[in-house]
């Protein structure tokens, strides 16, 4: 089982990584951000949008008072520009950090139930869902990192150990 300290550390890691992206993404031409690069969510912006959307869905499922944006495309359409994404991402990271700062061990015990974006009823252990929440962020940011590198951008380190120093 994960701990509240794990949640706080991963929230810090998420915010740290997204801060680097928020500095870079708005400076890129929209075409660079929306070009289909063959990733699961197509483009850099599509992948960043999916992750933003999913983070807000998971926060809501975890009891945080947020309103995930409406999307019929698993989130790829929730922002249209790098600037719009950066502002929404900043807000979402603040909500994640506040949630993690308040979490207690008892909050990670038990189960949560939710309806997926496709309408399917689900239920699982809360701690598994929280671990998935953070793993999902790292997974898709890795895809974005690869797409940005292929587009000729230089990004800072992504290794968690560098946050810990």
- The pLDDT averaged over each successive group of 10 residues in the chain (165 residues) is 96 96 96 96 98 97 94 94 98 98 97 91 98 97 96 88 74
DSSP H helical segments within 25-111, as ranges?
A: 30-34, 44-61, 82-102, 105-108
User: What is the model's pLDDT at position 165?
Assistant: 55
CA distances from 10 to 25, 69, 82, 163 (A): 22, 23, 24, 10
Give pTM, 2 decimals: 0.94
Residues 62, 72: Cα–Cα separation, whole Å? 22
Residues 92, 15: Cα–Cα separation, whole Å? 9
User: What is the model's pLDDT at position 162?
Assistant: 82
User: What is the model's pLDDT at position 161?
Assistant: 83
Least Cα distance to 19 among 133, 162, 155, 165 occurs for 155
Residues 53, 92: Cα–Cα separation, whole Å? 9
DSSP H helical segments within 103-125, as ranges?
A: 105-108
Residue 63: phi and psi, rounded to 5, are 95, 10
User: What is the model's pLDDT at position 159?
Assistant: 85
Directed axis angle between helix 4-24 and helix 126-150, to 10°?
20
Least Cα distance to 7 among 146, 135, 111 occurs for 135
User: What is the model's pLDDT at position 17?
Assistant: 96
Residues 55, 32: Cα–Cα separation, whole Å? 24
Which residues, 6+ apart, have CB-to-CB distance to 51 below 8 Å? 75, 136, 137, 140, 141, 144
Q: Which helix (H) or strand (E) holds 158?
A: none
User: What is the model's pLDDT at position 60?
Assistant: 96
């Amino acid at each position: 089982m994960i701990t509240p300290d794990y949640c706080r550390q991963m929230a810090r890691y998420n915010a740290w990584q997204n801060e680097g992206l928020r500095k870079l993404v708005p400076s890129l031409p929209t075409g660079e951000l929306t070009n289909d690069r063959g990733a699961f969510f197509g483009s850099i912006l599509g992948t960043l949008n999916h992750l933003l959307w999913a983070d807000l869905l998971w926060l809501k499922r975890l009891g945080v008072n947020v309103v995930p944006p409406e999307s019929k495309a698993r989130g790829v359409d929730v922002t249209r520009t790098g600037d719009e994404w950066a502002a929404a991402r900043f807000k979402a990271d603040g909500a994640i950090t506040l949630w993690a700062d308040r979490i207690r061990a008892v909050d990670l015990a038990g189960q949560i139930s939710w309806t997926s974006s496709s309408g399917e009823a689900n239920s699982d252990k809360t701690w598994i869902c929280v671990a998935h929440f953070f793993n999902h962020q790292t997974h898709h940011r890795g895809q974005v990192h690869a797409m940005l590198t292929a587009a000729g951008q230089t990004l800072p380190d992504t290794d968690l150990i560098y946050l810990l120093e």
